[in-house]
Amino acid sequence: MADSNRRATSRRAIYERLRQKVLTLDLAPGAAISENELAASLGVSRTPVRESLIMLAQDGLVQIFPKIGSFVSRVDPAQVADAQFLREAVELAALEDLPAELDAQLVEELRENLTRQRAPGLELEDFFALDEAFHQGLLRLSGHFNAWTTVAAAKGHLDRARRLGLYEHASSAAFAAQHAEIFEAAVSGDTDRARTAMRTHLRAVFSDIERIRAHSPHLFAADSGSVPVRRSVAVWE
């Protein structure tokens, strides 16, 4: 039983590391995956890597083609839209449910988060972590923090699109300003303004996708049924 538990823990840890590599674009959309190379880089055998890839395929983040190979899924705009729909519904509803008396400690934590977002020279991946913490913090204020688990599980393609947008802008200043507008409206009790600002903020990803797809179409899924072709190496058509 102990060995079984250790194997399950190891498999879960490898899965989480590989999932993070996909979400942070370290494993780029459409990239071919080598089980041997991943196993070597992670210092494990191929078995937990193969099992983790199967789990990532169930998440829609990896595609496995028999006799061709495994690939990081390209960003699917339809899945982005579905995740965005869920996220927007949850976060706008949470703003409606903010109590009259806000938790002062949580409010201060959010203010500190916003200050850190505006720090000069902030790395984009560090900003992304603060972005996530900010949105989670708003859910905590509303008393619906546990809803974040459902949102997070659904937004793999959305998170990759958001990161592509961040790197396209090369600066997080505009997003930090949007967060500040949402926050100030929320804590002042102006729910309508907070909801409008949140909706605009969350939907910005769609214009980012169209702009990025215009110059980098290979990053996005054009046909959910497309299959790579094996030549000397497997490639997408």
What is the CATH topology of the domain spanning 77-215?
Answer: Four Helix Bundle (Hemerythrin (Met), subunit A) (1.20.120)
Q: 160-216, pLDDT tens digit by residue?
A: 999 999 999 888 999 999 999 999 999 999 999 999 999 999 999 999 999 999 999
One of 1.10.10.10, 1.10.1060.10, 1.10.287.130, 3.40.50.1970 is the CATH number of 2-74+221-235, namely 1.10.10.10
What pairs with residue 162 in β-bridges? none
Q: 9-56, pLDDT tens digit by residue?
A: 678 899 999 999 999 999 999 999 999 999 999 999 999 999 999 999
Quick check: 203 and 88 in contact, CB under 8 A?
yes
Read off the tokens for 213: 């797809």
The DSSP output letter for 235 is: E
Instruction: For 72-124, give the DSSP string.
Output: EPPB-HHHHHHHHHHHHHHHHHHHHT--SS--HHHHHHHHHHHHHHT-TT--H
Sequence-separated (6 or more) residues with CB below 8 Å from residue 91: 135, 138, 139, 198, 202
pTM: 0.87
| Boundaries of every domain in the chain | 2-74+221-235, 77-215
